[in-house]
Amino acid sequence: MIARLPIAAPFAAAAALLGALFVSTVDLGPVRAQDGPGPVPAAGRGPLDERRAAKPPEPLGTTGADDVRLPLDFHGYYSFERMEAALRALEKTYPKLASLRVMGHSYEGRPLWVMEISNPETGPADGKAAIYIDGNTHGNEVQGTEVCLFTLQYLLSRYPEDPFVKRLVDERVFYVAPSVNPDGRVSFFRDPNTAHSSRSNRRPYDNDGDGLVEEDGYEDLDGDGEVLSMRRRNPLGAYRTGDEPRIMRRRERDEAGEWERLGSEGIDNDGDGRVNEDPPGGVDLNRNFPSNWKPRHIQGGAGEYPLSEPETRATALFILGRPNIAAVQSYHNVGGMILRPPASQGDQGVPREDIGVYDAMGRRGERMLPGYRYMQTFEDLYRVHGGFLEWTYMGLGIFTFTNELWQMPRDYDGDGRVDEKEQLRWNDEMLQGRGFVPWKPFDHPTLGPIELGGWRKWSRRIPPAWQLEDVCYRNCMFSLYHADAMPKVALGEPTIRDVPDAPGVRRVTIRCRNDGTMPTTSGMARRIQVATGDLVRLTGLGVRVLARAVARPPFGLSNEMVVDAPRPWEVDVGHIPGRSEIEVVFLVAGRGPFRIELVSEKGGRAVAQGRLE
């Protein structure tokens, strides 16, 4: 006898194992925040209290979460509270297609929302290929949330009249998690930050190794709501300004110094000679997944062990519990990139057939997203251990892309890169200079006379409000293309013929197709042995299956029939490549109706009917 686990068993078993192991609108210049929690409380240390009280930060928004209306507006950014309200409004308006649930909670207890979009009238969700889409893994990379919300609204609002959208929603399942780091998002909206913080989740961490946690974070010294850069005049300093006085460049060896960099705005709270080296948080959620995870001394931000964080653990268990997920799309920023795995190594060990699928989709993405580059993460960007896209592909065999959203235009000199001087020119021409705070004198409580200045947190990494909708639309289209490329199994009409010299025996032949670009299981899934083969079954009350065989193109060749199989009515055909078909032959006896079913873990299900006379 051949024992076979249910089709979801490998993933369900892994999910159970993991569960056991791990119990667990102000004028902001270049952008407009839709809402926020109001002024940041003055929580100063000593001499900073008076400065903060004299000039408190302005609130991030002027309207509450209760006023969210459809259609959603994408000319500004959604606070976490308004994001929640938007999700509830979508579910309330489209209850037949949208289902909102919580897949876990963040370190600070906020829900990790995920919305399922599918049409239950065309079959259960677990019988269709699914795509998982998320955003805001890093707290400061906020626009991924808006792309997710845009995608949800696009699918739901266009379902009745758009044939392409209707087909996708009828045939596929979308799991969309707009913010998988809600604590980081709240901190970015609420607190003074640089453009690069708060990146991690909010678990307290001893970032500087002094036995204390979060004792030296960012400070908004002048109370303007920004964490800028600090510099001080010093003839021995390593920097000078040139024809663009806002930019400091390293001086040549034979030049006198002009400035020294003092880091980001703040003070040395713990007296170790460094500023802002131990801010809140410290675990990078995109370094905390199992595949090729490395400890913190090798991979910064890795956490104590894989899936140590409630956010990554909830995401992993959600995906493991849904083996029909055939595609993953994650939204980050910045740089205008379409990234594919691996992230910790080159392409050695990656099946060539999978690279072919990635290349076809990546090249299409470059056409859909002008200025974006399709890249292999490790070879074309940098090494990442414990990354999300590495785990979903190298660990689960799911075709995965990470889009790095937006880049500050534009390449004025045509050298293939956008340097800071070009960024400032674009800032001056298109944002009227609002993205950069000119250097200004400031009396630092411990460093004395310095200057503060530099890029605002709502600049460089985040598109201005008037560009956001275009970013959302184009990346939504790429996600829909990604979903449409998933495997989609189908069956032709069965043919029935008598078998010569075998009275009462018929030959039933069925063509099994995969209409998607992706194979029904990736080459990686087969290589690491996490794939479940596609099953073809022939059943009927008055029908007895005697033998079966599988043929692949070119058809018409003789096939070896399997006669004494323990389950002759069922055949494991392995996988069906993208845009191709196979042929299954059953030898049967008897009379009456029969049913042929093709079941694919990631390609859905298909049924054909026939009758033996």
CA distance 193 to 219: 8
Q: Domain spanning 80-188+282-406+464-484: which superfamily?
A: Zn peptidases (3.40.630.10)
- Sign of the CA dihedral 545, 551, 555, 559? negative
- Residue 556 — very low, low, confident or very high, per pLDDT cuts 50/70/90? low
* Two tokens, residue 398: 């799911």
* DSSP assignments along 1-46, one per residue: ------TTHHHHHHHHHHHHHS------SS--B---S-SPP----T
Same fold for the pair 80-188+282-406+464-484 and 489-612: no
Please check the confidence at residue 505 and state whether its pLDDT lies above 90: yes
* Average confidence (pLDDT) over 336-345: 97
pLDDT, mean of residues 424-433: 95
429: exposed, middle or buried (C-beta count within 10 Å: 0-12, 13-18, 19+)?
A: exposed
Looking at the predicted structure, is the pLDDT value of residue 163 above 90? yes
Domain boundaries, the chain: 80-188+282-406+464-484, 489-612
Q: Which pLDDT does position 561 carry in this prediction?
A: 73
Looking at the predicted structure, is the pLDDT value of residue 409 above 90? no
Given a cut of 50, is residue 146 above it in pLDDT?
Answer: yes
Residues 6+ apart with CB under 8 A from 322: 11, 126, 130, 132, 175
The pLDDT assigned to 187 comes to: 96
Summarize pLDDT for 447-461 with one digit per residue, the tens. 999 999 999 999 999
Confidence label for 50 from pLDDT (cuts 50, 70 and 90): very low
Residue 309 scores a pLDDT above 70: yes
Q: Which token pair is 406?
A: 């937006």
pLDDT band at residue 65 under the 50/70/90 scheme: low
Average pLDDT of the segment spanning 384-401:
98
Please write the tens of the pLDDT for every residue from 345-374. 999 999 999 999 999 999 999 999 999 999
Distance (Å, whole) CA 370 – CA 407: 11
Greater confidence (552 vs 62) lies with 552
> If you average pLDDT over residues 101-113, what whole number do you get?
98
pLDDT for 105: 98
pLDDT of 8 reads 43
Model confidence at 73, in pLDDT bands (50, 70, 90)? very high
Tokens 């065309």 correspond to what residue? 122
| pLDDT, position 66 | 62
Q: Which fold has domain 489-612?
A: Immunoglobulin-like (2.60.40)
Contact 251, 207 (CB under 8 A): no
Q: What is the pLDDT of residue 12?
A: 46
Percentage of the residues of the chain whose pLDDT score is greater than 70: 88
The pLDDT value recorded for residue 2 is 34
- The DSSP annotation for 572-604 comes to EEE---TTEEEEEEEEEEE-EEEEEEEEETTTE
Please give the residue that has the higher pLDDT: either 209 or 63: 209
Give the helix/strand (H/E) hosting 474. helix 465-484
Closest by CA to 509, choosing from 489, 538, 535, is 538
Tell me the pLDDT band of 294, cut-offs 50, 70 and 90: very high
Higher pLDDT pick, 19 / 546: 546
3-state helix, strand, coil in the chain (%, to 5): 25, 25, 50
pLDDT at 480 (0 to 100): 98
Helix or strand run (H / E) with residue 496: strand 495-498
Say which residue, 555 or 88, is predicted with more confidence: 88
Q: What pLDDT was estimated at residue 557?
A: 53
Q: Residue 25 pLDDT > 60, yes or no?
A: no
Q: Residue 135: pLDDT above 60?
A: yes
Question: Of 195, 186, 158, which Cα lies nearest the Cα of 473?
Answer: 158
Average pLDDT value over all residues in the chain: 89
Arithmetic mean of pLDDT, 425-437: 95
What's the CA gap between 567 and 570, in Å, rounded?
6
- Span 584-611, average pLDDT: 97
- Among 204-208, 246-250, 325-329, whose mean pLDDT is lowest? 204-208
Tens of pLDDT, residue by residue over 108-133, are: 999 999 999 999 999 999 999 999 99
The lowest-confidence range among 28-37, 163-172, 260-269, 476-485 is 28-37
pLDDT for 494 beyond 60 = yes
pLDDT for the residue numbered 19: 44
Above 50 in pLDDT, residue 44? Answer: no
- Cβ(217)–Cβ(236) under 8 Å? no
CA atoms of 488 and 130, how far apart (whole Å): 11
